Structure formats: C-alpha cells, structure tokens
Amino acid sequence: MTTSISDMYGEESKLEGLLAKFDEATEILAAAADYAKPLKVRRVLDTARRVILQEGGCAALEERAEKFERAGVFLGSDWAVPQTLVSSLTTRAFASPDDETVVIEALSELRLLAVVMGRYVHSQVTIHQARRFLTRVLAVNLSLLFTSPSEAERETQGRLALVPRAVLRHLADRIGYENVIGNLIEEIWRILYQRPIQVDHIKRMVTQISICQANPDIDLGTSGQGSERLVSSLYGPTQASREDPGLEVYRQRLESMDTNTLQNEATGFARAMRDTGLVSPYHPVLVRFLLDKGDHLLSEAFGLSTTGRDCLLCYQQLVYALIEEAVHPSTAQAVYGLSLMLERGILFQPPVAPALWRQIGLPLSDWSEARLRFVFGDEATPRSRLLEGVLCMLGLPLGVGQGNNPTCQSARALSMWAYNDPDYLLQMVTWAARDDEIIMHFEGQPISSRESYAGVAKELPVDLDPVSLLVVPHLDRIYTEMGRRCADREGDPHRWINPEFHGWWTGRGFRINVDVATGVLQDLEAFIRHFYACYHPFYNGNQPLIHPQPAGIVVTDSAARFVGWHAITLMRVALDAQNVMRVYFYNPNDDSGQDWGDGVVVSTTGNGERFGEASLPFEQFASRLYIFHFDPLEGGEVAKVSRDELDRVIGLIHRSWGADRIPDLGLQAEAEGNGIHSGEIGE
C-alpha cells in the first residue's frame, strides 16, 4: 500500500494543527498559578496523547520537553523528581487503563531523551543518568517494541496501548538498538553480580534478548556479544538441553542416559547456575530425576563443596523432602537457594533442621495463600512458592530487596536474621504465614502486628520475594509502633528501636551526628573519631566485626545532593587487594551500586565484595554515615585518629549532604531530615 502526496500533506497538516493546540495548552498551563495547574494539565496531556500517535509526533514533543516541564506538567507528581524514578515501574504505568498515567509516563521518557540528546540541560538529571534510565526502560519494555497490543490490552486500553509503543520505538531509534542491547547485557551482569533473590525481571530481559537475536529485522551489530552465557544459562546450559527441546522431551532424554552422561549434565547445570545466579527450568527436572540415583550425582547437580556435601549426607531425608516440595520448573531458583544454604552449613545449627521440617508441612492461612496466588499465580502451590522463598533467603541472605517500598528497616531485619539467626527467621515466617500475626517485645511489652496501626508503607507491597511478601507488612507495623512508643523521648528513636527490633547483638551504644529536631550537624568530629575507634581495625585493636550491626546512612545523588535517610547493615571492615581499608555493607535497595557524588561511587564487585555486599573506602563511607551502634564496653583508641583523616571526612560531608547543615551557618535542615528514616531511596 502506498501513501499519496495528498495523504502525506494531510498527515503533516494534522500534526501541525495538534502541535499548535499543544503549544497553546502548554502556555496556558505555564501562566496558571500552582494551585490551578492540575485543572489545566488535562488539556496538555490529552493533546499530547494525540500528538504521540502521529508520525513525527514524538520527535516534536522531544523538542518541546523543556518547555512543557517548566510549564508544570509534572508538578506535584512522582515524575517531578526524575532522579528518584524507578525504571521497572514503567511497565505498570504503560499498562495502566488511565490515559493520564500513560501519557505523563510517555512525556517523562521524552523529557529524559531530550536530556540525553543535549536539547535540555536538566538541573536534577545528568546525561549519564538519563541514558542509563532510558536504557533500562527499553530493556524492561522490549516486548512492546516488537508486538502489537494483545487482546487484553485492547480491551483495557484501546488505542491508548499504541502510545507507549510509539514512544519506545522513538527511544530505540534515537538511542539505537545496538546500544540498548549492549548496555542491557552489561546492566544484567552488573545486577547478577549482586546475587539478588528476585530475578524474574532479569529472566524476562534475557528472554527479550534471545527474541531480538532471533529477529532478522533487528541489527544488533556486536552488541550481542556476552549474551550467550545469559541465554544459554536459561534455555540450554547442557548438551542435552542445548536446543531448548522442552521439559517433557528433556525428561525423556534423561531416561536413556548412563552415569557418565548424567554427571556431565549435572556439572553443566551447576556451572551455569554458579556462574550467573540464574537457574534454568531444566535444572529442577534433572534434580528431581536424580533423587533415586544417589547422592553423588545430586551433589554434582548442586555444585557442592565438602561442606555442602556433608550437609547433604547428614540431612539427606530433609534435603530430599525440600526438593520434593520446593524444586519444580516453576520454582527453579529454589535449586540455587538450597545449594547455597547447604554450602553455608547452617543445617548443623540444632534448631534449623526441625524448623525446616515444620516449614515443609506448614499450613498456610487463607490470607497468606491468597496473597501468594495474587502475586505469583497458580503455576506453583503457595506452599511451594513460599518454601522456594525461604530457601533463597537462607541461601542468599544479602539478596533481600525492599522493592519500591519504604520498608528498608524490615528488609534489613529479614536479611540480618537470615544471615545471623536463621531459626528466628523461620519462626517469623511461621507466625506470619500460619497465624497472620507476629508478636515482638519492646522493652518487655508485647506488640502485636494485628493490633498495631499501619506502618510506613501506605499500601501492601507486591513487588517482593515470597517471604518478604508475607512477613514485611507485619514487621512494618511493629517497627512503626515501636517508633510511636518512644516518640516523646529526646533524641533519635532508633537508639531504642534497633536493639529491640533487630536482635540482642545490636550494640546498645548509639551515636548520631545530626540534631533530630533541626537536622543540623552536631559533634561531628567526636562522631567520626568514635566510628573509627569502634570499627577501623587500625584503631580498635584489629578486632573484626563479630555480628552485623544496623546503621543509618545519608543517600545523596550523583551531584552529592541530599536524597534521604536510609537503613543499611555493617557487615565487615577489611583491606582490599589494593590495601585500601573498606567498609562492606548490605543495602536493602534492590541495586546497591550507586553514585553518591563527589567521587563517592559504591562498588558491588571488583573490590573484595562477597555476593550481595556493597563497599566504599572507609573515609567515604564515614562521610555518608549518620547513625551507628557500638558496644559501650569496648572503647577504642579515639585519640589516634589523625587530623588529616578527620579533615578529609568532614570535607566530604560539607561538600555534600551537610552543606546546609553546618551549625555556624545557623541554617535549619529540610523538614524531611527529621524523625525516623522511612522513605524508600530510588534509583
């Protein structure tokens, strides 16, 4: 079908007319007072939707990005703070039946594209940040680029479903598929090095990469290099599964294999799993097949060392029962969780094995079953899904994420218990999943999650692993209730909350470097000296950190500006391979690798980090720390901290989040700097 010249002119004329209306609506919005803008923005968004669906419409809106943002299109919404936007949530926004949500998300992407292309110098987002965000947006929405709207989309969105597709095609054309796929592969590996528990979104990205590779209409150039390991780890990690034959065909092939061939299969699966942290759906098929073939082959399939083999042999019946209940193609990550749990040797702690037996037969409440089915579907039973989550959390205690929720305290607690007190974690899971209630004590008085008010999360979270999905709402309410019970006390409430909430090993000593009422820096030099004396091996008698300790950090953006308060866990302090003293810590954000400005870039790999750890040189970490706990009976050599070290740390603080908190300036901190840190820190 050809397009006539008159049709072409007709389309151009239509676009010009719509752009004139858009410009007029934008000018009216810009002239309106802030309180009146919500009434005026509707016309801008409605016209923008029609412009996007025209040929050349996205490019025209990209050129107008600075103008429509300054007019107030994003005013009062989450999109007004672009540095905190979460790329994974764009899939939900683009699928919304609400046209305003879809269009404002589309305009936000076009605004960031204008930043990338140099059309718009944004005060909050750099070109690098904008490009990284848009690359992720394209990655998580790749399927929309190559498919027409589904029947469900047509039913719920109608022509609105074409808007995100038009915007994403424009983004891909501008940025280039080669750059998108290449950056996407790098991004996937970067996240996988952190070994998160939740990998479904990564598996979807890998699937889209494989689809792109098979599409002859997409020229990836050399960008596909490095993707082979990712794609093969899911769809063909071994000789017998190389061509992705399907689960039933693969199961039949296993029947005809001799011992040597089975061992090769087991070794291939284990190697791919340990290399990527991803588990192929074929792997559980092999593991279940090997249950009656002997422990040696099963050990090979898990990739176990001597410690793991000893656990498997000593607790064979329990391991077999866990496999029967939790390991299925739809719960494939349970293989990795079980493997790492065996490697940790925690089954040799007397309470853990009986607690896992209880977990296998645990009756779930109706509410727990409904929540698990709502989030994860019916492909696996709720009990199997929860048990998969338990195994992954026990195997990857530093892989717990808070999702897009302000629940860093609860995520940190789950991680800490999985790492340091696994039987207590299992008790919490039992109470939450079976009884729909958790009871904790605060200074001798019981607190029931059922009787407590709402927590810091305004809605029930859904973007969490199975354990967090059930337990976090209870912990969130209890944590908030603890805050209420000491709200009238002088100072920061975490002095009393953290030891009661996290565990007995939390130090009862407490230091904070800001005044809670005003947010102004206080006793900064004494705070830094004390932190060095408690945690730096050169000043504390080379005493390693025995138990993980909760701490509070100040998150800053890449321009070193204050973003918010955040809960993390101090894991250890040690010299790296370059003889730099580093603090290794756990961050419950789903991605620990962040640029905090002024040269403070958090590392997640390459500097001695274990899976799930983030790290910074000691001085840099101290510059973003504002709360820590310590044992008051262990002093440390405070006086030996050098003046130069102190000045370097203080300089980093004064050039970043402390710039407007210096007491000499007599300035008050922003209102959000006060009280309990409850906000989620974005990307």
Structural domain boundaries of the chain?
Answer: 5-175, 372-485, 507-673
**Distance of alpha carbon 680 from alpha carbon 683, whole angstroms:** 10
Query: What's the number of CA atoms in the CB half-sphere (13 Å) around residue 253?
Result: 19
**Distance of alpha carbon 140 from alpha carbon 302, whole angstroms:** 30
What DSSP character marks residue 508? S
Q: Are 337 and 292 in contact (CB under 8 A)?
A: no
Q: Are 16 and 54 in contact (CB under 8 A)?
A: no
DSSP codes joined into one string, 177-228: HHHHHHHHHHHHHHHHTT--S--HHHHHHHHHHHHHHH-TT---TTTTTT-H
Nearest to 276 by CA among 332, 229, 237, 235: 229
Of residues 623 and 591, more confidence is placed in 623
**Distance of alpha carbon 30 from alpha carbon 37, whole angstroms:** 8
How do strand 581-586 and strand 614-617 relate by DSSP bridges? antiparallel
Of residues 564 and 627, more confidence is placed in 627
DSSP codes joined into one string, 154-183: HHHHGGGGHHHHHHHHHHHHHH-HHHHHHH
Q: Are 46 and 106 in contact (CB under 8 A)?
A: no
Confidence of residue 680 (pLDDT cuts 50, 70, 90): very low
**Distance of alpha carbon 300 from alpha carbon 653, whole angstroms:** 50
Token code pair at residue 117: 């292309």
Q: How many CB atoms lie within 10 A of CB 300?
A: 20
The pLDDT tens digits of the residues spanning 4-39 come to: 444 444 556 788 999 999 999 999 999 999 888 888
Q: Are 641 and 531 in contact (CB under 8 A)?
A: no
Confidence of residue 639 (pLDDT cuts 50, 70, 90): low
What DSSP character marks residue 439? E
Q: Which helix (H) or strand (E) holds 628?
A: strand 625-630
The pLDDT tens digits of the residues spanning 594-610 come to: 888 899 999 999 999 99
**Distance of alpha carbon 490 from alpha carbon 483, whole angstroms:** 12
Predicted pLDDT at 187: 78
Measured CA distances, 244 to 11, 208, 249 (Å): 46, 16, 9
The pLDDT tens digits of the residues spanning 192-231 come to: 999 999 999 888 888 878 877 776 666 666 666 667 889 8
Predicted pLDDT at 664: 63
Q: Each residue of 554-577: b (16+ CB within 10 Å) or e?
A: bbbbbbbebbbbbbbbbbbbeebe
The pLDDT tens digits of the residues spanning 604-632 come to: 999 999 999 999 999 999 999 999 999 98
3-state secondary structure of 88: helix
Is the pLDDT reported for residue 675 higher than 50?
Answer: no
Length of the chain in residues, anyone?
A: 683
Is the pLDDT reported for residue 455 higher than 70?
Answer: no
Predicted pLDDT at 222: 62
Predicted pLDDT at 315: 97
The pLDDT tens digits of the residues spanning 528-550 come to: 999 999 999 999 889 999 999 99
The pLDDT tens digits of the residues spanning 649-671 come to: 999 999 999 999 988 654 444 44
When pLDDT is averaged across residues 278-284 and rounded to a whole number, the result is 97
Beta bridge partners of 564: 555
Sign of CA dihedral 507, 509, 512, 515: positive
Predicted pLDDT at 671: 40
What DSSP character marks residue 432? I
What DSSP character marks residue 531? H
Q: Which range is least confidently modeled, 84-93, 241-250, 514-523?
A: 84-93
Q: CB within 8 A of 672, min separation 6: which ones?
A: 564, 679
pTM, 2 dp? 0.82
Measured CA distances, 554 to 38, 409, 513, 545, 566 (Å): 33, 14, 11, 22, 6
What DSSP character marks residue 334? H
**Distance of alpha carbon 571 from alpha carbon 583, whole angstroms:** 8
**Distance of alpha carbon 257 from alpha carbon 277, whole angstroms:** 26
**Distance of alpha carbon 122 from alpha carbon 530, whole angstroms:** 40
Nearest to 658 by CA among 583, 567, 561: 561
Q: What percent of the chain has pLDDT over 90?
A: 66
Nearest to 457 by CA among 479, 431, 435: 479
When pLDDT is averaged across residues 466-495 and rounded to a whole number, the result is 93
* Unique residue bearing structure tokens 């990284």: 132
The pLDDT tens digits of the residues spanning 45-95 come to: 999 999 999 999 999 999 999 999 999 999 988 899 888 788 878 888 898
Q: How many CB atoms lie within 10 A of CB 201?
A: 18
Q: Strand (E) positions, 469-610?
A: 509-512, 549-556, 562-575, 581-586
When pLDDT is averaged across residues 122-136 and rounded to a whole number, the result is 88
When pLDDT is averaged across residues 364-382 and rounded to a whole number, the result is 95
Of residues 677 and 515, more confidence is placed in 515
